[in-house]
Amino acid sequence: MDIISKLYGPFFDVENWKLVIESGSDWLVILSLALIECLLSVDNAIVLAAQTKALPTKKEQEKSLFYGLWGAYVFRFLIIGIGTYLINFWEIKVLGAGYLLYLALAHFYHMYHPITKKKKDKGKRLLPLFWSVVISIELMDIVFSIDSVLASLAISSNPVIVLIGGMIGILCMRGIAEIIIKLMEIIPELEVMAYALIGLIAVKLFISIPMIDIEIPAPLFAGVVLLAILVTFVVNRVRR
């Protein structure tokens, strides 16, 4: 109980919240963190959009993102609490990288080895498609939260400031995901690009473990993502 109180006590400190809300300098830090969150989460938004595309209707896609939004807030709260210790758990990054790489390879395998409707009907799902996608989104949030939280804690050690900045950033990121879903309907090549980026993100996450210790700066990676999107638009135009 002492450990839990030490990790999560600041979130329930009314005076701490009051100081943050009334401080203009703290709000500048919060806005900076929200901007960093959006920058770090461009790839996350693309991944979410690719995942929700598996759902047949727009209503289900939006609903899955809504559930994912609230799940992201809960996980972010939990992860910020243990954020100062996450850097020691490099195994989490390895598992996250492995999971993302599996998603990318599975997608491209099924592209070249499509499952027939008959085979799909034979395969039994443990969960309905909708909840499978929601759980997948939550797993993504956990994986992507690690880098975002550690980057935020490097700027401010106050967990309340990090939490508010993260909440604003997550909300913006979900908006980006909805825009990308609409773009995918117009430009189907974006789905291929999204899963290629998932593979790249897996590599990025893996090489950041202490034994390798190679960090790709967020602005550089965001540039790679934007370049990939631009190339995809050009490929789409050429095909048309």
Question: Tell me, what's the pLDDT at 121?
Answer: 46
* Whole-number average pLDDT of the chain: 75
d(CA 94, CA 99): 9
Inform me whether the pLDDT recorded for 225 exceeds 60.
yes
With beta carbons less than 8 A apart as the criterion, state whether 74 and 144 touch: no
With beta carbons less than 8 A apart as the criterion, state whether 206 and 93 touch: yes
d(CA 240, CA 237): 5
Question: Tell me, what's the pLDDT at 234?
Answer: 92
| pLDDT-above-70 percentage for the chain | 73
Number of H helices, E strands in the chain: 12, 0
d(CA 203, CA 43): 13
Least confident of 3-12, 66-75, 228-237: 3-12
For 127-150, what is each residue's pLDDT tens digit?
777 888 888 777 777 766 666 676
If one counts every other C-beta atom within 10 angstroms of the C-beta of residue 73, the result is 16
Tell me, rounded to whole angstroms, the distance of Cα 78 from its chain centroid: 15
d(CA 34, CA 22): 18
Who has greater pLDDT, 204 or 73? Answer: 204
For 64-103, what is each residue's pLDDT tens digit?
877 777 777 777 777 777 765 555 567 877 877 887 788 7
With beta carbons less than 8 A apart as the criterion, state whether 170 and 68 touch: no
- The band of 218, judged by pLDDT with boundaries at 50, 70 and 90, is low
For 178-192, what is each residue's pLDDT tens digit?
676 677 778 888 778
d(CA 211, CA 90): 9
d(CA 105, CA 157): 38
